[in-house]
Chains A and B, each alone.
Chain A
């Protein structure tokens, strides 16, 4: 394959653009995070070192945001992973109308996130919502979907699952499609049950794809903003205030130093996840290309 210097003229514009647009703000963010910097007082910006970070250590709101973010990320990704895997296995066997049904199932992935959250907000409405009405019909008491501190995070997870199960499904479905069929045929000839071939062929060969899907989704869930903003805005109280929402609030108050410090902490956590992802991907066994 061609080597040499011509390649750089193709790569440079895009790469330079990307790194400039991402790295310059990030470096700037790190710098601002060392300052006491209020948007409304541009003449009174003072260097405070790590004070913005030190405050997190004994700030219950920050701790709470970390817990909420973790609970939401782990819960949402777990639900979405299991549902996506089940769907992918269901679609691995051909059936009638597979193609049109598959497309319909993908739709939520393409709906504008704000619009998707809006739909659910209408459905969740405590008095006017269709969900509580039918719960009443079958004799259950109405659920305060978004106004109860515990329930609110569950409701957000439901909406997040609605939106992104299609992604999990699609990635694992694509992974299943490229598994060599001969292996399954051989296993069937040897008398393996469906569970056995799932356990001993599908799972080991699909591990890489599953890991990829979980990590990508994990990072996405970690930085979820649109849905939470529309559904609860972080409330009630601080019940659904993730690190992103806390960051948004600090920004809204004009406290740039703190907002950027929260951002840098978030970035470090995501970078950690990313590092794990890259190691997993670069060291993967090459099963995808037979």
Chain B
């Protein structure tokens, strides 16, 4: 019993600073968003204070926050739907049909994700300018689907492979088409995989900054660009910036916590299963 107790203590000692380092920034900005200006700049830093909602009311009234929120949501939901449809089809295709070079094509899909965004965004800007799609949802959406799709495909391959073949064959004998089998049998069984893929696609779009910065001007401006815009060293904006940052981060935290079980499996799957 002794050595394991010793180990538990050591583990605890090792974990405490790691947890502090990981969580402190999140904790600090969250509390900052509830502080008054006086408390924000107080020295020593205030750990205990009476929380205020002033920063939130100010950020919601001073800038058209809800319009930016709507922009972010529309683009993120569109990205999710687009990459789910294309990703399901392609993931199923890779999982069930093998042809010469299919492994190479699968890697090529992943390779497209590797191109630096900055390399893509400049010509993309020129193309979108020519098509008149600058500062539109469509311009952002198409780009984001292409960012989310490779991962969706890889993730879903892993889930579709796990669906037992005989269940599918039974469906085919009962007269289902391939697409019918996918829709009625495979998708319900692989639903957790689709949930993970959906969340990832949503977050890819929700988090994206560079394309939004360059492609969206006024109309389609998304929240990360707004946050970066509030980020100045001019002190007085710290409260509002923190409040906006917390609101933008909230969906991410909720999704991560709610779906942790799937996330760990989903994230590690691509790397290990290959």
- Give A156 Cβ to nearest chain B Cβ, in Å: 14
Instruction: Kindly state whether residue A193 has any CB partner on chain B within 8 Å.
Output: no
Q: Is the CB of A209 within 8 A of B271?
A: yes
Q: Return chain B residues, CB-CB under 8 Å to A118.
A: 29, 227-228, 231, 241, 245
**Per-residue CB proximity of B227-269 to A under 8 Å, as 1/0?**
1100101010010011001001100110111001001100111
Q: Is the CB of A266 within 8 A of B119?
A: yes
- Give B117 Cβ to nearest chain A Cβ, in Å: 6
Instruction: Kindly state whether residue B272 has any CB partner on chain A within 8 Å.
Output: yes
- Give B25 Cβ to nearest chain A Cβ, in Å: 4
* Residue in A closest to B182 when the chains form the complex, CB atoms: A10
Q: Is the CB of B122 within 8 A of A256?
A: yes
Given contacts A32-B123, A114-B227, contact A105 B272 (CB under 8 A): no
Instruction: Kindly state whether residue A130 has any CB partner on chain B within 8 Å.
Output: yes
C-alpha gap A2/B248 in the complex (Å): 45
* Residue in A closest to B111 when the chains form the complex, CB atoms: A274
Q: Return chain B residues, CB-CB under 8 Å to A95.
A: 7-8, 11
Q: Return chain B residues, CB-CB under 8 Å to A6.
A: 97, 178
Residue in A18, A115, A166, A230 whose CB lies within 8 Å of B109: A18
* Residue in B closest to A1 when the chains form the complex, CB atoms: B98
Given contacts A111-B26, A251-B214, contact A10 B89 (CB under 8 A): yes
Describe A's contact surface by its main secondary structure. helix
- Give A5 Cβ to nearest chain B Cβ, in Å: 9
- Give B178 Cβ to nearest chain A Cβ, in Å: 6
Q: Is the CB of B97 within 8 A of A3?
A: yes
Given contacts A113-B207, A125-B233, A175-B272, contact A14 B112 (CB under 8 A): no
Segment of B49-57, B143-151, B190-198 engaged in the interface with chain A: B143-151
Q: Which of A11, A213, A288 has the most CB of B within 10 A?
A: A11
Q: Return chain B residues, CB-CB under 8 Å to A19.
A: 112
- Give B63 Cβ to nearest chain A Cβ, in Å: 16
- Give B102 Cβ to nearest chain A Cβ, in Å: 8
Q: Return chain B residues, CB-CB under 8 Å to A87.
A: 18
C-alpha gap A18/B106 in the complex (Å): 12
C-alpha gap A226/B248 in the complex (Å): 15
Q: Is the CB of A15 within 8 A of B105?
A: yes
Q: Is the CB of B123 within 8 A of A29?
A: yes
C-alpha gap A166/B99 in the complex (Å): 36
- Give B2 Cβ to nearest chain A Cβ, in Å: 16
Within 8 A of A (CB), among B113-128: 114-127
- Give B92 Cβ to nearest chain A Cβ, in Å: 5
Q: Is the CB of A278 within 8 A of B112?
A: no
Instruction: Kindly state whether residue A81 has any CB partner on chain B within 8 Å.
Output: no
Q: Which of B25, B45, B124 has the most CB of A within 10 A?
A: B25
Instruction: Kindly state whether residue A171 has any CB partner on chain B within 8 Å.
Output: yes
Instruction: Kindly state whether residue A49 has any CB partner on chain B within 8 Å.
Output: no
Q: Is the CB of A260 within 8 A of B86?
A: no
Q: Is the CB of A14 within 8 A of B90?
A: yes
Residue in B94, B210, B271 whose CB lies within 8 Å of A175: B271
A-B contact pairs, 5 of them (CB 8 A): A112-B252, A115-B224, A226-B210, A256-B122, A266-B119
Residues of chain A touching chain B, judged by Cβ–Cβ distance below 8 Å, are: 1-4, 6-11, 13-15, 17-19, 21-22, 24-26, 28-29, 32, 87, 90, 93, 95-96, 99, 101-108, 110-116, 118-123, 125, 128, 130, 133, 137, 162, 166, 170-171, 173-175, 177-178, 209, 212-213, 219, 222-223, 225-226, 229-230, 244, 247-248, 251, 256, 259-260, 263-264, 266-267, 270-271, 274, 278, 281-282, 284, 288
